Chain A
Amino acid sequence: MDPASAPFDSALIPKGVKRCQLKWFLLWIAVLNGPLMVGTVAALMCWGLALNVTNLSNNYPFGLWIAADLGIIALGAGAFFTGFLRYIVKIDDLKHIVNYAVIIGVVCYASAQGILGIDIGQPLRGWFIFWHANVHSMLTEVAFCITCYFMVLCIEYLPLILENRQVYKLGFFHGMAHHLHEAMPTIAAIGVFLSFFHQGSLGGVPGVLYGRPFAYREGFLVWPWTFFLFILSAIACGPCFTILITRITEGFARKRLVKRNVIDILAKISGRLLVLYLVLKTLDTVYWIAMAGKVGAPLSSFYANQPYGYWVLITELGILGVIPAILLLIRKTRQNDNVLILACVLNCAGIFMNRWIMTVQSLAVPVMPFDRFISYHPNWVEYASTFLFVWAGAIVISLSYRYLPIFSQEKELNPL
């Protein structure tokens, strides 16, 4: 590259790759900062003025935040599952995307914790969940596992930061990055263990609510069936989210960053897992209908109040389940870029819808016969503070892409 046309910060940019001029990058960051500021104001309103600034109520103690939280963590499952496939199952080709999966995971898990920090009524007491832990609560299990796993993700992210051109020159950091890479299989294994538990525990959060027949599921030992379904759905959609963000990044960068065969491996695995999930979810649904009927809650009572009609069930399992599963299973459709993106979008939307159903719709269904259905729709404060983390995540990803050697195939695919 002509030194005169090199970006002002080229000394920080990995060797052999092309990045835009610094002024364009800064403009992009400034653009992201706009909605981020709006989200920050919304978050400060929640902390300063209390949660009455939202549309949550005593009927809907859980709303957009909790649904988004569960969804984001499921989408972030691409990090641990790609690590599992790369370091434990030893699918070597995935080394070309595992770095990016980790960064996406860091963003997702940081977002989830950030959203929880806004959602709780007394944020300064958030640490009570660790100090006064109730071991019977699924939420306790979630809190411990997510916090530990976030630390694991940070440790996985650290060597990438240390591999920045300038940082890597320092002997100590060079050695540290090397040793962390050496330890990565062990760290990934710890991450997998923790992730299975917290993904499952998130499923347990609605699944143990036996006072809510819509959410309640029987299960194995202390774990309701949703425990296992949440794990499976997370690992079925996590890789799709990784693919989706990679494709979006490629769109912004206007170049290929990962070879097609790597993407194809993730898409194929995702499709097969989605099929398995759909089979088990269908069995669970049939059993749930039978069990709910026994406690006097027929299926029709669950879908009696719009907008939560039967279309919800059909959309979740059919349009956002069966269709992406078919598209991901068939090689021809999977290898068509546009169709692959469509499949990934549907798969990820399906997960979000499932998490919304298991949390918000569970509360929407009246349980006492003389209860009235009350609707809930999030207000701008909830949307802005949720999307705050999308913009913050975009900034983290943008910075990482610009300054860290994330994509090992980038040079090969885009020779200067």
Chain B
Amino acid sequence: MKEAHHEGDEQHQGHGKIYKFGMVVDLDKCTGCGACMVACMAENNIAFRKDETNKTRSNFWMRVYKISNGLPFPDTEISYIPRPCMHCEGHGHHHTPCVSVCPATVTDYNHETGIVSQIYTRCFGCRYCMAACPYHVRVFNWWDAKWPKGMEKYLNPDVSPRMRGVVEKCSFCFHRFQRAKNKAFTEGRREVREDEYQTACTQACPAGAITFGDLKNPEHRVYKLKDSPNAFRLLEKLGTNPKVYYVSTRAWVRKAADVYVGKEGEGATCA
């Protein structure tokens, strides 16, 4: 199955089609409103505390970073970088950074979807995966989740809340994929359509900056968007092979997103 996935084989295996879900974020459209973060927290029952001033202990599956070109007024420009889990595929002899290090097989790369999963009830909180992830995607539950009175009634029944002492991260709303797959199967289809499976952050973005879909499927919008000359990925040269792409027409944004930009200038358009 792994080989089929890497070779881009479209054949049906196991219980259905082989996907490679990914995301393309247009940074020129992102206004930094944070709706994606809010939607993600609500969708995935992400715990929060009354005092969230210490951001190094906050739970964000989707986090929006603000960057600047560093120039003085009137040349100052800013950009926002929404950062979900990159669902790294790895390449060559490198596995997904967090998957290969987890000592208890808590996290796994699903070759049917390309999604990196996390089994919360198996995690014993060694936090090695957090050390392995260069994107700070993984967060630890420093406290037990305590919901404001009555809010537990509004939790998403499809997503299990996490206990303290375990690591959690963005799942590309995998429960939505499961729901969409069930629906497709009951309707006699083996394939989930693009509009049937969308992440919460994608749907919440008012600017339409986030596009989600199957990176291998030419009919999905992400297929073309990821091949844009202005597309790039975070820390591409490390070889993590992330499945979240960013697009920006501004060269300084592309440069700021990687520790190097070796390919910069090849067809890129500058603002």
Partner of B103, one of A58, A129, A363: A129
Q: Is B235 interfacial (CB-CB < 8 Å)?
A: yes
B: interface residue count bin:
35 or more
Q: Is B100 interfacial (CB-CB < 8 Å)?
A: yes
Task: Evaluate contact between A51 and B142: CB separation under 8 angstroms.
Answer: yes
In the complex the two chains form, what is the Cα distance from A298 to B133 in whole Å?
Answer: 20
Task: Evaluate contact between B140 and A121: CB separation under 8 angstroms.
Answer: yes
Min CB gap A62→B, angstroms: 6
Q: Is B270 interfacial (CB-CB < 8 Å)?
A: no
Among B106-128, those with CB < 8 Å from A are: 106, 122-128
Q: Is B144 interfacial (CB-CB < 8 Å)?
A: yes
* 1/0 contact string of A125-152 vs chain B (CB within 8 Å): 1101101111011111001000000000
Q: Which residues of B contact A205 (CB under 8 A)?
A: 128
Among A187-222, those with CB < 8 Å from B are: 205-206, 208-213
In the complex the two chains form, what is the Cα distance from A210 to B257 in whole Å?
Answer: 18
Q: Is A367 interfacial (CB-CB < 8 Å)?
A: yes
**Total A-B residue contacts, Cβ distance less than 8 Å:** 161
Q: Which residues of B contact A209 (CB under 8 A)?
A: 97, 101, 131-132
In the complex the two chains form, what is the Cα distance from A33 to B256 in whole Å?
Answer: 54
Min CB gap B239→A, angstroms: 6
Q: Which stretch (A167-175, A244-252, A368-376) binds chain B?
A: A368-376
Q: In this complex, which of A57, A129, A205 has the most chain B Cβ atoms within 10 angstroms of its Cβ? A: A57
Task: Evaluate contact between A212 and B132: CB separation under 8 angstroms.
Answer: yes
Specify the main secondary structure of chain A where it touches its partner. loop
In the complex the two chains form, what is the Cα distance from A108 to B165 in whole Å?
Answer: 26
Task: Evaluate contact between B144 and A50: CB separation under 8 angstroms.
Answer: yes
In the complex the two chains form, what is the Cα distance from A128 to B122 in whole Å?
Answer: 7
Q: Which residues of B contact A139 (CB under 8 A)?
A: 101, 103, 126, 128
In the complex the two chains form, what is the Cα distance from A158 to B239 in whole Å?
Answer: 49
In the complex the two chains form, what is the Cα distance from A268 to B168 in whole Å?
Answer: 49
* 1/0 contact string of A105-139 vs chain B (CB within 8 Å): 00000000000000111110110110111101111
Q: Which residues of A contact B163 (CB under 8 A)?
A: 122
In the complex the two chains form, what is the Cα distance from A143 to B104 in whole Å?
Answer: 11
- Closest-by-CB residue of B relative to A293 is B260
Task: Evaluate contact between A57 and B164: CB separation under 8 angstroms.
Answer: no
Q: In this complex, which of A60, A123, A134, A208 has the most chain B Cβ atoms within 10 angstroms of its Cβ? A: A134
In the complex the two chains form, what is the Cα distance from A57 to B127 in whole Å?
Answer: 10
Partner of B259, one of A122, A128, A143, A369: A369
Partner of A128, one of B94, B124, B165: B124
In the complex, 9 of the A-B residue pairs with CB atoms within 8 angstroms, ordered by the A residue number, are A61-B130, A122-B123, A139-B101, A139-B103, A206-B131, A210-B240, A297-B259, A362-B131, A368-B259
